[in-house]
Structure 1
């Protein structure tokens, strides 16, 4: 991936270097020359990053340089944050007693110690940037004008997802017939829906799951997203909770869970959706999960499975396999045009002709059509449409990451702020439901969004959130009723398609879950944003935060706060 979020990080650092508060602090300590050199170097690099991103597609050396520069740019941001923090701390000290001020001269907050430390840190980061700029100058990069930022448009929360479903009535009819036709079967039947990523398997499953005939036919309907966790204990616990609509407090003992599963489901005719199954190990299904799930339920019970792999479908299926086809050309065009010709883009003849070429490149994949339609809705000029049509976006469709070129192309057309906000979502696990207001607060706290005109930070965050939804970077938006003590309030939740989550992981820097860190899938020195799952128990004295000096965001359940003292002491950012 060429676009490594370098441009917005460099732009943010350059802005901090030019900040009046930082200038005042560096001037006070006689190190303003280094600050000015840093600012100039960052501005010089910023002008050539657009060309670097283009050339990094074919030049591995430039791609490696961009990754190295991103790491140093983050270091520069941290150093400059230190000056801003010290200025705020000094303001807060106004009114302190003379004794307190004298004591501060001999503590870790001593002005002399601060000056020595920050002078050293600024000099170190400047030296690293100077070396990288020398390398950059050998690449022959030219200055490119930065792409124009997207104009903010008014958006609203009235999302009608069902209106974006085209060409799936036949598939819905086939699956309904298979589901409802098992009423004479004494054993639990398994019906797989399979096909490549972005085809709409989950959407079809939702259409069937919410159908009134299905809801009346089955005494119990349950939905569990499997993703990469196919462990028997986790799946069975979730099903027990779905059946009882309450927490399962049993220990992770399979025999106890089996008995409880028998109690809560018994002989009820149930339908269970296992969404997004990846596991291809026959043993996991045949020896572990199947004996548990297929030993309960009355005649006509069905497990509906969605998966990308024919192998998974063959291992689990008993009713037959339903392979989800790509959309027909007319349905593809209807879905694409509904997205593209909105937000002020007129459906003129020339754009229609070019748009049909773009839609054809999406090869009938609903997610690709929605993404490209959302992208084109921000393009007013014929030349812009023609440039997209001439690109190679649909040339590589067919493998595990069939639509990744399309996702990357759409990502590159986001504004710098939107790129940072989207990439930050990689900190959450796949299929995690994010809360809109909390997400916006985190974007604001990390400095990803800036005020614009009369629009304050919260309003700008709302715009970015709904624009990411419109472009299908975020999805499954719904209103949830929350309770806090004696009051109730509504919150808006959303999720990411797992392909979008893969893209976010690809472009993000230092966004990890605690599990990824423990499994050593991430370098501890570069962790900037970390999420601890509510089910994860942080052991006392685990030393998991040792060496984690760059952490900016820690999302953890409240019950683990008492175990996080090590983090509070170690992580200063």
Structure 2
């Protein structure tokens, strides 16, 4: 039996990553149509129509076209195709499973004829529904080929101006001091410590979404006025080519761009920067995911080489980015990693944003709010953006009860933070999306080992079928996938040291982990604690703590377990679970049609 790997659609894929998967689904649809043991009514004709519709969708995707990459409307429709095609895969998967079961057991001849008839009818009913939805899918694919108006806003542009003054900038004082020490001379007692004009010309500020990279850069940019001859702030998102970045730098210097090429821009830049000590801030730098080779990926960095060759010694470039790989691409000599501010600083920032009273004039209601703030601030995981977002929500409320409600349910009021992390996820290539969303079934703060995790990816078909080109093994390619996620700051080496070495374990920041759980709710579910959680019929990868196994008994196997590939059983922490005997999971094995992996580990050991 062929099991098709899960489909994902990326928003930046050269040659349409979907096309080969659709080709595979067409083949499976025709194979199922040729089978005689699971057809009912017009199933043969419907399966043939399914294959034909898939062919039309593939044709509209146009694998040779990449003009969609900068069209946000097309990118939005491409993203929505993921779920549409996934439903096709699900129905074909069910057909394959039943055909395989009947052919190997002979049930279609000897027994269970009533059950078999019922399944045929149910599959035919689902097939009719899929075909109906596929008509809309074909329309979306047609819009991708022929154009459609934008339905998704481009990423908001960041600016140099900050709403916070020096007194309201909380946290990262050490990081601020480290950064400015590399930019301009510092007074150390009666001695002025000069800056090496040639060293550390490019400095990267690296951190997850919402960690305060832009705000730190803004504070430094503001304080740099008068210390450099020229300060330029550039919103660098999407500027992946030398010409694009040069134009954006020129525009940000309040100069008209017009119709200029690289050569003419370089001459203009040379005249502008000659004999000037310059500070250039590139905010929100992203990896060029469409690049097919290193030379193409480094295109934008050529613009920086021009800038630094024209500017006077002592000029500096500061870049903010979510991905460590960008600091390498732009040849940063130093990186400042932001992992979040301390709880006390988070509290100060939240209080300042919400304008909460903390002085001697506070009453009992103020004390109640402040106690809740102190208790709940840890749930924001050191993210300044989270503190600001909750602060703004509190500021809108006029009653104590409403403010308390927000603080009791912090996770439900962090939509801006969630969307920022989702933007990172959607920027990934599809193969990395599938691998990363699989990690959502593991508990928060799980310690991942690259070798074990990549073997799971291979077993589930997440690694490309043509991965063994040029003599490379599937294991090598899967390891590259993992390190690509590390390079994009989605995995962090435990302890914060540089990645590498044997026996290294990695963790996912809790807010990022929360985001991929939100992004993968149809495919990946993690169940723990006593709260009953709904399980969608599409779930493929499920983890459950031993104390929560009883929750699965409430769901019929045909709804919950028919599509599962993974069942991960985690032993609950001692004290939370009186039953540490894994035999409680044994009845589940017999109700699962296929399980690639059944694992029993201790959640408090956090190692897999």
Class of the TM-score when normalised by the shorter of the 2 chains: 0.3 to 0.5
